[in-house]
Structure 1
Amino acid sequence: MATKELKSEISYAQETTLSAPTTEAITSVGVWDKFKDSFKPALQTETLTNAHVNSENADSLSDLERININSANSKLNRKLQNRHLQMISIGSSIGTGLFVGSGSALNTGGPGGIMIAWFIMATAVYTTIQGLGELSTTFPVSGSFNVYASRFIEPSAGFAVGWNYFMQFFVLLPLELVAGAITIKYWNKDINSNVFVIIFWLVIVLITLLGVRWYGEAEFIFSMIKVVTVVGFIILSIVLICGGGPSNEFVGGKYWQNPGPFANGFKGVCSVFVTAGFSFGGTEMIGLTAAETPNPRKTLPKAIKQVFWRISIFYMGTLVMISTLVPYNDSRLMNASSSVDATASPFVIAIVNGGVKGLPSVINAVILISVLSVGNASVYATSRSLNSLAEQGMAPKWAGYIDRAGRPLVAILATDIFGLLALISASNKQEEIFNWLLALSGLSSIFTWISINVSHIRFRAAMRSQGRDLSELPYRSQAGIWGSYYGLAINILVLIAQFWIALFPLGGKPSAYGFFISYLGFPVLLASWVGYKIWKKSLRLWIKAEFIDVDTGRVNIDTDLIRQEAVEEKQALSSRSFIYRVYKFWC
């Protein structure tokens, strides 16, 4: 273990190193020279922390201490602004899962099934992200939840979860490029898919190589379009339900009566329960932005709170409209040929049923934007995850190369190049290939959320065991420790439900192929965990609470200032109206 002197110096270093990294001044004149120099290795001000890591004393550090120190001193640039975080938090999981996937879920579970399943999963995701907000605001380190699993549970957990999360989004980029090419065929079915695969690939490569600030700008625009579309759809749906559309038909709740609220009983609800869990994938990505935000202590809590509004308005509000306007036995839902087939989108079906012309093409355009947004976000997620794994010594050192623009360059290029796998879209084997690639990490989001829940529980246990007061935290989960227990329980139930559906599929016979396509992610995760144990020759299952490091990586630890700000905020709120206090609590 590190000596007291080393820990003291590490704590001091944290107050000076978690700002944007200092890079060597580029003295060359001209845009081209500056562009070339930006690809050179990032240079960081030599700190006491780095000095110890690179000195002979580094040999005395354990793997876990190296992980904590390296993740706390990342060279990523902190250029994401507050408005970027706000829109990333709102739009990160609004995509084809909502615009199209909700249609197959409606067909499987019925209106009652999707409302129950999505509501339960929404509450679990909300409590999980609240726990992540507490950890990310306290420890705005590179890798976020990957590092938290290593730090608060055990490094083998971080290794398994980190690589599984990397694979999830690594495979997602080529899949989204293919989806974008298929979406284009809504207007012209004779177009060569590979032409648009290359076009979309070049767009994503350009955005990702421009740096994190431009990723934030792109996601700001993409998310704004998606949000406006969802809000507009909800308003239009209310008009259609009340009979204000061209057909002048009052819809009311007739589809809840005929064909009814549930399509396939309890098993149908369980199946939708799994689909709902997957639809929220990407919500946790807000945690990855902590290491690239100038003032995470102020901006992250606001972004984390936006999850409540996203869930309440964009998901639940939209699902209420869809379940009211579209019968679950509509043939267009049952005959969906593609996960990005706009004709299978309940948004499009609801508008067509209402007699509104022209808008289906608009919805299809938004689906295309959503596909590009997810592809862009997948490069961000994979590059930051691979960089974090390299910093933790769980991936080749070269994979963690960061240039002077603050880009994890090697990780970005590796992800972009793999995206060219989308060129197999012209092959008749594309569906089988992508099915198996997705199966490798099909449960990744659930595993990640479970690791966040357990990490938060272990962090609170460490604080309690070491006699630390929660008042020193810059942000506390609104759901508290019990929220993480609740999120953990629901996510475990999702795994159980997925196992049941994989073993006994709805409307089909049990098969080994179907089971492994649905549940291969679990044995892959287990093999990763066991493999790391064998590699490190470690039998430890978890870190004891009294030995968990609750200091390294924290920015400007001034507990008195934090307490004073909390008191002043309460006093200021006490003089405001009840409505304003409710607004500040949720926003």
Structure 2
Amino acid sequence: MSSTDFDKQPDIESVLQPTTSAETTQERIERVKSQIEWQPNPDKSKWENLKDSFKKIELEEIDPNLTAIEKIAIKTARTPLKRRLKNRHLQMIAIGGAIGSGLFIGSGSSLSTSGPAGVLIGYLISATFILCVVCGLGELAVEFPVSGSFTTYANRFVDESFGFAANWNYVYGCSVSVPLEIVAAAITVNYWNTPKKYTDAFVALFFIVIVVINLFGVKGYGEAEYFFSGVKVLCILGFILLGIILVCGGGPDHKYVGGTMWHHPYGAFIGDTGAERFKTIMSVFVSAAFAYAGVEMTGMAAAETANPRKSIPSAAKQVFWRILIFYIVSLTLVGLLVSKDDPRLVGNSYYDSASSPFVIAMVSHGIKGLPSVFNVVVLIASLSVGNASVYGATRIMVSMCESGHIPKWTNLDYIDQKGRPLVALVVISVLSLLSFIATSSKEDEVFTWLLALTGLSAMFTWFGISLSHIRFRHALKAQGRGTDELCFVAPTGLWGSYYSCGMIAIIVCLDFWTSLWPYKTAPNAEDFFESYMSAPVFILIYLGHKIWKKNWKFFIPAKEVDIDTGRRETDIEKLKIELAQEKADFATKPFYYRAYKYAC
């Protein structure tokens, strides 16, 4: 469709019936949402009100003459999810939301396969492009706090086929992540020598806890993550303090550790040649991607945040400090305290919850009592990430049904009076029953498979976010508009998104090489698909949609991209004046205040 044809399409402001001629599309969307805010009927019993709260919210019909892309933009913008996440919820989700078994347990696999220096290199390189991804996402989420967030952006700014693949990739990743985290939680319980026959009961308990939290809606999710994240943050800070003491010889054994784990006979790397060491470092990126997965959750929560313009920029910028303190510093200490050859690490001969390198560090240096406390935190972290995965998967399913990527008859866009995506929650709950594989004697192999499958899934999600940001900026320029109308401009800029796309593409290609010719083993199908299965799945979904829809373009032309529908700030000229005034006021603040706000 040419730009001329696009201009001839029906005015989007005719989608909903206006109350006044001056009412904008976004104001109409807000009016509809305010009209459908459900309140209990005082004339009915509590039981009747409870039943009514599960009824579906019915919205006004959309103008059938609109194009498919315009319909998707309107539907995702007006989804009746409740805006009940407060700033404190979003800040805590940003600080500790993604800390889970990927860091506490999965990092042990990285340490055993690449050494302490290899772990730091892999995690540091990953951190550089992830920071660019999150800043770009923050810019988009502030402007377009819509249902589905970053996967919806792929539909609007990149291409419908790419959006289709990105949606399914994220649902697939979250669907795998939920049973993975429940399995990790069940494994953690084994630390206390819990009889195997009780594994089913623990899996069922963890499953019920996650489902019940999400039944309380977005407020339940926010409060649970506020508590979970607070516990995880305190635990990591406590371990960092303890780790420094142990490295300096202040532990019960009074043994000075220093950098001995980096030297003979241990060594900082695994592999005798540069090529071998390169391969082992490349293997870190998959587990690092899983450990970092969830950093994008602040963008997902934008549609249910009371004031994304104020809270999301701060949450996005805090990712840098979270990665630096919680990942890099803690893993540096782990590499100083735990040998890469320790048989208790994941990836070596022995496997249970004690394989967490954080626990090994404490046990190996004579710390008693704290390892049990830390395992409780590992358990909480697993439930936290599983809870976030259910939240993310259900929101994406709603968006996919609204976008036409899932058949309407599935009713996955069912949102009840309390703003809960009930049908999507039922579906993800059924898929989560896969977690009962924890009762299998092969639970360690299952954990490794799920970990590998989820890692590359996160890579494709981040690639889609950065590509959407690039296309959005190009659309602004092509339509004669600039960043002066944006409430938040990504500190990493457009080139940051180019960098993240390039790095992710390079890593995915190199991972193909290391998966096909793994370190110290001959090429084999099991190792390849264990590490690389999500890549061909993503490509097949993308190409399949292209063929099915006969959609042969790679990108939506920049002049045709819709950069207005879904914005909460609709009066651009008024917004520019407000932003200019805010910048002028900010310039009068003391230097230390401006420095703090720029960084946090």
* TM-score normalised by structure 2 residue count: 0.91
The code of the aligned residue for 2:458 comes to S
Corresponding residue number in structure 1 for 2:519: 506
Corresponding residue number in structure 1 for 2:377: 366
How far apart, CA to CA, are the structure 2 residues paired with 1:39 and 1:556?
Answer: 31
In structure 2, the CA distance between the partners of 1:365 and 1:430, relative to structure 1 (3 Å rule), is closer
Kindly indicate whether residue 429 of structure 2 is the aligned counterpart of residue 423 of structure 1: no
Corresponding residue number in structure 1 for 2:393: 382
Find 2:406's aligned residue among 395, 400, 412: 395
Q: Deviations over 1:314-337 (max 9, x none)?
A: 111111211222222223226656
For the residue of structure 1 that corresponds to 2:191, the secondary structure is: coil
How far apart, CA to CA, are the structure 2 residues paired with 1:409 and 1:497?
Answer: 41
In structure 2, the CA distance between the partners of 1:180 and 1:81, relative to structure 1 (3 Å rule), is same
Kindly indicate whether residue 267 of structure 2 is the aligned counterpart of residue 260 of structure 1: yes
Kindly indicate whether residue 475 of structure 2 is the aligned counterpart of residue 468 of structure 1: no
How far apart, CA to CA, are the structure 1 residues paired with 2:445 and 2:109?
Answer: 20
Q: Deviations over 1:53-91 (max 9, x none)?
A: 1x4xx1x32221111111111111111111111111112
Residue correspondence of structure 1 range 159-558 to structure 2 within 5 A: 159-192=164-197, 193-258=199-264, 259-264=266-271, 265-333=277-345, 336=348, 341-397=352-408, 398-428=411-441, 443-558=456-571
In structure 2, the CA distance between the partners of 1:198 and 1:133, relative to structure 1 (3 Å rule), is same
In structure 2, the CA distance between the partners of 1:5 and 1:504, relative to structure 1 (3 Å rule), is closer
Q: Deviations over 1:144-167 (max 9, x none)?
A: 111111111100000011011101
- CA drift of 1:255 comes to 1.8
Residue correspondence of structure 1 range 94-113 to structure 2 within 5 A: 94-113=99-118
How far apart, CA to CA, are the structure 2 residues paired with 1:448 and 1:335?
Answer: 26
Whether the 8 Å CA contact 1:162–1:389 is kept in 2: the answer is yes
How far apart, CA to CA, are the structure 1 residues paired with 2:158 and 2:257?
Answer: 52
How far apart, CA to CA, are the structure 2 residues paired with 1:480 and 1:112?
Answer: 30
Q: After the TM superposition, which of the residue ranges 262-271 and 143-152 deviates more from structure 2?
A: 262-271
Corresponding residue number in structure 2 for 1:33: 48
* TM-score normalised by structure 1 residue count: 0.93
Whether the 8 Å CA contact 1:127–1:479 is kept in 2: the answer is yes
For the residue of structure 1 that corresponds to 2:184, the secondary structure is: helix
The code of the aligned residue for 1:63 comes to A
- CA drift of 1:18 comes to 4.2
Whether the 8 Å CA contact 2:93–2:229 is kept in 1: the answer is yes
Kindly indicate whether residue 34 of structure 2 is the aligned counterpart of residue 23 of structure 1: no
Whether the 8 Å CA contact 1:502–1:514 is kept in 2: the answer is yes
In structure 2, the CA distance between the partners of 1:577 and 1:200, relative to structure 1 (3 Å rule), is same
How far apart, CA to CA, are the structure 1 residues paired with 2:83 and 2:350?
Answer: 39
In structure 2, the CA distance between the partners of 1:533 and 1:402, relative to structure 1 (3 Å rule), is same
The code of the aligned residue for 1:322 comes to V
Aligned residue-pair number: 576
Whether the 8 Å CA contact 1:440–1:524 is kept in 2: the answer is no
- CA drift of 1:118 comes to 0.9
How far apart, CA to CA, are the structure 1 residues paired with 2:152 and 2:315?
Answer: 21
The code of the aligned residue for 1:260 comes to G
Whether the 8 Å CA contact 1:234–1:318 is kept in 2: the answer is yes
The code of the aligned residue for 1:395 comes to I
How far apart, CA to CA, are the structure 2 residues paired with 1:406 and 1:338?
Answer: 45
- CA drift of 1:494 comes to 1.6
The code of the aligned residue for 2:226 comes to F
Whether the 8 Å CA contact 1:15–1:556 is kept in 2: the answer is no
The code of the aligned residue for 1:545 comes to A
How far apart, CA to CA, are the structure 1 residues paired with 2:580 and 2:536?
Answer: 49
How far apart, CA to CA, are the structure 2 residues paired with 1:159 and 1:373?
Answer: 27
How far apart, CA to CA, are the structure 1 residues paired with 2:585 and 2:252?
Answer: 51
Corresponding residue number in structure 2 for 1:147: 152
How far apart, CA to CA, are the structure 2 residues paired with 1:209 and 1:114?
Answer: 38
Residue correspondence of structure 1 range 85-100 to structure 2 within 5 A: 85-100=90-105
In structure 2, the CA distance between the partners of 1:249 and 1:431, relative to structure 1 (3 Å rule), is closer
Kindly indicate whether residue 89 of structure 2 is the aligned counterpart of residue 84 of structure 1: yes
- CA drift of 1:24 comes to 4.9
Whether the 8 Å CA contact 1:153–1:454 is kept in 2: the answer is yes
The code of the aligned residue for 1:521 comes to S
In structure 2, the CA distance between the partners of 1:163 and 1:441, relative to structure 1 (3 Å rule), is farther
For the residue of structure 2 that corresponds to 1:552, the secondary structure is: coil
How far apart, CA to CA, are the structure 1 residues paired with 2:186 and 2:448?
Answer: 18
Q: Kindly report the root-mean-square deviation, in angstroms, between the aligned alpha carbons of the 2 structures.
A: 2.2
- CA drift of 1:391 comes to 0.6
For the residue of structure 1 that corresponds to 2:268, the secondary structure is: coil
In structure 2, the CA distance between the partners of 1:293 and 1:352, relative to structure 1 (3 Å rule), is same
- CA drift of 1:140 comes to 0.7
Corresponding residue number in structure 2 for 1:42: 57
How far apart, CA to CA, are the structure 2 residues paired with 1:440 and 1:536?
Answer: 28
How far apart, CA to CA, are the structure 1 residues paired with 2:446 and 2:127?
Answer: 31
In structure 2, the CA distance between the partners of 1:556 and 1:237, relative to structure 1 (3 Å rule), is same
How far apart, CA to CA, are the structure 2 residues paired with 1:104 and 1:555?
Answer: 44
Q: Deviations over 1:359-389 (max 9, x none)?
A: 1111111111111111111111110111110
